[in-house]
Amino acid sequence: MSRERAKLVVGNWKMHGRIGENATLLIEVAAGASALQKGVSVGVCVPCPYLAQSQALLSGSVVRWGIQDVSAHTGGAFTGEVAAEMAADFGVTYAIVGHSERRAYHRESPELVASKAQRAIEAGLTPIVCVGETLEEREAGTTERIIGTQLEAVLQALTEEQAAGIVVAYEPVWAIGTGKTARPGQAQDVHAFLRHKLLEKGATVANVPLLYGGSVKPENAEELFGQKDIDGGLIGGASLKSKDFLAICRAAQTVTH
Ligand code: PEP
């Protein structure tokens, strides 16, 4: 398996931002990211109303932009939903699917998340498939069963070629927005398990970027990203401050796999 996988750092703004403050953040991130070495890619997943703004301010920069969810449908009577094709109209690269907040608050099943990943791929987007266990599930010793089921549903719905084009983010639910981070070794163990699952789908799938997410900060990013199977991060809170987000991006370039 390659030891030369590139790093990827993607911000998840969640439901934060206003048009004025976004402009400053996007311009600062684009400027800072331009100084990064090759081998580190950067993206930001913004709320839907700001896709056009992101496209306007990030086009021509090294930063790609994305959406935080897509519909499992391609169009029709689905009030409030956004089709992957619609996001594609705004030059979107990434589509987060299966974020734990959507699995928890919107009761998204592994099968629904798999359909969303399919729609994203069909529209030419790269799905960032989030998987993760709750604290109760970890304490019950069911982490691998839970995240294995979540990943398996997506892999089963995709061809090997499609699966080779996804990104997977391991986000322990107990670490998201809580300030609690998985210990680097703890995260690596889960990433190694996910890597093995990906390999079962095919040799080309084994090298998909495996991101860690959950209270990543400038202070802990380098150690996390230095783990063998951690290829970067999905960053929530810290992606809202350009200084912190760019420091995390720089941490990704200081570690090489
Ligand atoms: C997230 O929401 O994807 C996330 C990782 O959040 P945070 O970094 O704030 O824990």
Boundaries of domain holding 171: 7-32+40-254
Q: Compute the distance between CA of residue 197 and CA of residue 143 in angstroms, rounded to an integer.
A: 14
- Reported as a single tens digit per residue, the pLDDT across 94-152 is 999 999 999 999 999 999 999 999 999 999 999 999 999 999 999 999 999 999 999 99
Residues in the chain, pLDDT under 70: 1-4, 256-257
Q: Is the residue at 220 inside a domain?
A: yes
User: Residue 14: its pLDDT value, please?
Assistant: 98
Report which ligand 1 atom has the smallest distance to the Cα of 96. 3
From the number of C-beta atoms within 10 Å of its C-beta (0-12, 13-18, 19+), residue 18 rates as exposed
Q: Is residue 2 part of a domain?
A: no
- Kindly state whether residue 1 falls inside one of the protein's structural domains: no
Question: Which of ligand 1's atoms lies nearest the C-alpha of 175?
Answer: 10
Tokens found for residue 89: 């109209």
Q: What is the CATH number of the domain that holds 143?
A: 3.20.20.70
Q: Is residue 143 situated within a structural domain?
A: yes
Residues marked active site are found at 99, 171
- H-run or E-run covering 195: helix 184-201
Which residues have a Cβ under 8 Å from the Cβ of 40 and sit 6 or more positions away?
6, 7, 8, 9, 232, 249, 252, 253
Annotated binding site for substrate: 12-14, 177, 215, 236-237
C-beta neighbour count of 90 within 10 angstroms: 16
Cα of 12 from ligand 1 centre, angstroms = 7
Domain assignment present for 156:
yes
Give residue 231's pLDDT.
97
**Domain count within the chain:** 1
